[in-house]
Amino acid sequence: MKWDWSAVSDFMPHFWDGLLVTLQALALGSVISFALGLVWALLMRTPSRWVRWPVGVITEFVRNTPLLVQLFFLFYVLPEWDITFSALTTGVVAIGLHYSTYTMQVYRAGIEGVPAGQWEAATALSLPRTRTWTAVILPQAVRRVVPALGNYVISMLKDTPLLMAITVLDMLGEARLYSQQHFQFTEPLTVIGVAFILISYPASLLLRALERRLVR
The stretch 90-113 carries a mean pLDDT of: 93
Residue 210 scores a pLDDT above 90: no
* pLDDT attached to residue 215: 59
pTM for the model stands at 0.89
* pLDDT attached to residue 122: 73
Residue 45 scores a pLDDT above 90: no
Q: Which of 1-15, 61-75, 132-146, 188-202 has the lowest mean pLDDT?
A: 132-146
How much is the mean pLDDT over the chain?
89
SS3 letters across 172-204: HHHHHHHHHHHCCCHHHHHHHHHHHHHHHHHHH
* pLDDT attached to residue 140: 81
Contacts of 131 (CB under 8 A, 6+ apart): 122
The stretch 46-57 carries a mean pLDDT of: 90
Model confidence band, residue 14 (pLDDT cutoffs 50, 70, 90): very high
* pLDDT attached to residue 131: 78
Residue 128 scores a pLDDT above 90: no
pLDDT tens per residue across span 130-139? 777 777 777 8
Model confidence band, residue 141 (pLDDT cutoffs 50, 70, 90): confident
